Amino acid sequence: MREEVKAQITGVVFQVVAKPGDRVGAGDLIIVLESMKMEIPVEAPRAGTVTEVRAKEGDTVQEGETVALLE
C-alpha cells in the first residue's frame, strides 16, 4: 500500500536522510526541515520502503506537501 509522507510545516529542506530503496520503521527520520531556525523532523508514519523522495536539500516545501512516498 502506497502512503504519502507530508511536511507538517512550511520550511526549507535541511537534510534528506532516507533515499529510495531504504527500509524504514514507524517514526524513522526521512527528512529534516528548517523553519524559524528550528529543525523539524519528518518521520515515517509506518514501516515500509521509501519509493520516492520528492524534495532535495535547499528546497522550500509547504505545509501538507508530499515529500516522500512509502510502499
Domain ranges of the chain: 3-70
| CATH code given to domain 3-70 | 2.40.50.100
- Taking the chain (71 residues) in runs of 10, the rounded mean pLDDT of each run is 94 97 97 95 97 96 97 95
Cα 17 vs. chain centroid, distance in angstroms? 8
Q: What is the pLDDT of residue 41?
A: 97
Q: What is the pLDDT of residue 1?
A: 84
Q: What is the pLDDT of residue 34?
A: 97
Contacts for 67 with CB less than 8 Å, ≥ 6 apart: 5, 6, 7, 13, 30, 31, 42, 53, 54, 55, 61
Tell me the whole-structure pTM to 2 decimals: 0.90
